[in-house]
Structure 1
Amino acid sequence: MQTRFIQTILALALVSTAIPALAEPTQVDVRVLARGAKFIGGYSDSARVVLTDAETGEVLARGLTQGTTGDTARILEGVNGDKRLSTPDSAVFHATLDLATPRRVTATVTGPLSQPQAATTVTSTQWVLPGRSITEGDGWVLELPGLVVDVVEPAAFQPVKRGAEVPLQVSVTMMCGCALSENGPWKAGTTEVDYQVTVNGKAQPLQRMTFDSASGRYKVAYIPHDPGIHEIEVRAWDAANGNAGVGRTTLFVR
């Protein structure tokens, strides 16, 4: 009798250990905020989000943030003590993870994908518990530093004559695409934009560009004097937020 009782207990123990823990759907909302500015939004070329298991490298979810850049006043100033930065239309990546046990999850975000010359990557890691969704407030927010520097003129590999004036025009924005201006929330006057020309492999001194409020671009007239390959590098620096960006183009001077 005692032997049969022990056998029954052992059988129940084996059955109980064989039953796997049930997975629980756990929602994770990831938002990507441009440092000093707004959310990185869009629908096809916004910010890429990859959620992986930090210990195994298993990809748990991947996708893009989708939505708008959000409400400027709320992000920069807040609303009646409400600390949330996002609004319902703000760009977000929604993921649902089926978790049976706690997992240490790494979020890796890259963007803005619409401006590959400016795209950067940041990561963040935290524990995610089964059934404990990360959706309250702004969810899981990662901040992308940097500036988008786009050389509008001259076109890459444009042939020009030496001694001819070449208009150099550059668009500089926050990583969310928010424009710089003289009187708006993102001041052009606090962003230094310099350019350096390398002529046939020899770097020339840095030169400052000036902001043109009518076009919203930084401009300067460049006059090449020597024939050959002129490589132009534009550097933007926002000291207030520690943001930097670089853009490049090349001229053939004859």
Structure 2
Amino acid sequence: MTKFLVFFIATFFIALHSFAQETRINIRAKAKDAKFIGSSLGGAYVIVRDKVNGQILAEGKTEGSTGDTKLIMDQPLQRGESIATPETAKFQAVLNIDEPTFVEIEVLSPINHKTSQIRASTELWIIPGKHILNDGIVLEIPGLIIDVLKPRTHEYISLKSLTSQSLPIQANVVMMCGCSVESGGLWDADKIEIKAMVKHNGKRIDDVILKFASPNLFEGGIPVTETGNYEVIVYGYEEHTGNTGLDKVNYIIRD
């Protein structure tokens, strides 16, 4: 009787497993008003979860190129046409499911830049054996990646060393796909407001406009007249798309 029961249970699970079908889903992250997020930026991290029990069914990073610029940014898109080429960055989730499964697809990007990281997600039913390929599931990542280059975090700066009571500030600004920002370019630096909010000992004292200096680089000068603890909040704002970004740095001015 025991052997029969073991045989029955084993047969049941084998039969159950035999209904499972491999189901492939292409998942992509695309920067708002820009290109896809791929290997050059470290990828976007993708998690596919079963919505019923929270089990992770697949996870990994998007890999590949940012895509064809003309195809993505210039050509009118007709219904049913793809904007992804075979080289365009994606994560392909491979699920083995035996019945329709309601999933959440979550994307974190850029995975290697925590200050600028955005979480985007969607939900859908996955049907066994019914692949979602070509462009697949595309999640939009809004924003700008901003890095304050000068002054450095927790840098000690002598007040006497400053000329004209001004501290140079530099910020690097790129799209969420890593695409370059240039004056008059496809991603036009002249249409992006980059500004630094300056705090001294916790009190906001000034706002400074940073001007385009070279591809991705914006510069300005922070007024400094007193010693103390300073904080600079550099933000970016693109009115026509609504893209925003931010970075912060703290430094110390001493005698």
Do both share a fold (TM > 0.5)?
Answer: yes
1:131 paired to 2:132: no
User: Which residues in structure 2 correspond to 1:60-209 (within 5 Å)?
Assistant: 60-78=57-75, 81=78, 83-135=81-133, 137-162=134-159, 164=162, 165-209=166-210
How far does residue 78 in structure 1 lie from its aligned partner after superposition?
Answer: 2.7
Residue type of the alignment partner of 2:58: A
Stretch of structure 1 that moved more, 154-163 or 194-203 = 154-163
Q: For the residues of structure 2 that align with 1:118 and 1:219, how far apart are their CA atoms?
A: 20
Aligned-partner Cα distance in 2 for 1:203–1:216: 27
Aligned residues between the structures: 238
What's the counterpart of residue 6 of structure 1?
none
Return the TM-score normalized by structure 2: 0.87
Q: Percent of counterpart pairs with the same letter?
A: 30
**1:220 equivalent in alignment to 2:220:** yes
| Aligned CA-pair RMSD | 2.1
Q: What's the CA shift for 1:67? A: 0.7
What is the CA distance between 1:91 and its match in structure 2? Answer: 0.6
Q: CA deviation at 1:23?
A: 0.4
Q: Is the 8 A contact 2:184 2:190 kept in 1?
A: no
The structure with the larger Rg is 1
Report the CA distance shift for 1:171/1:23 in structure 2 as closer, same or farther (over 3 A).
same
Name whichever structure is richer in strand by fraction: 2
| SS of residue matched to 1:205 | strand
Under a length normalisation based on structure 1, what TM-score does the superposition of the two structures give?
Answer: 0.87
Q: Which residue of 2 aligns with 1:9?
A: none
Q: Can you give the 5+ residue segments of structure 2 that lack an aligned partner in the other structure?
A: 1-10
Is residue 162–residue 223 contact of structure 1 (8 Å, CA) maintained in 2? no
Shift of residue 223 of structure 1?
3.0
In the alignment, structure 1 residue 235 sits paired with structure 2 residue 232: no
State the partner residue of 1:39.
36
**Contact 2:107-2:119 within 8 A present in 1 as well:** yes
- Residue identity in the other structure for 2:25: V
Which residue identity is paired with 2:36? F
**CA distance change for structure 1 residues 242 and 44 in 2, over 3 Å: closer, same or farther?**
closer
Change (3 A) 1:27 1:185: same
Amino acid at match of 1:33: K
Q: Which amino acid aligns with 1:200?
A: N
What is the aligned counterpart of 1:50 among 26, 47, 52?
47
Indicate the residue corresponding to 1:249 in structure 2. Answer: 249
**Would the aligned equivalents of 1:110 and 1:120 in 2 still touch at CA under 8 Å?**
yes
Runs of 4+ in structure 1 over 2 Å off: 18-21, 78-83
SS of residue matched to 1:73: helix
Task: Look up the SS of the partner of 1:87 in the other structure.
Answer: coil
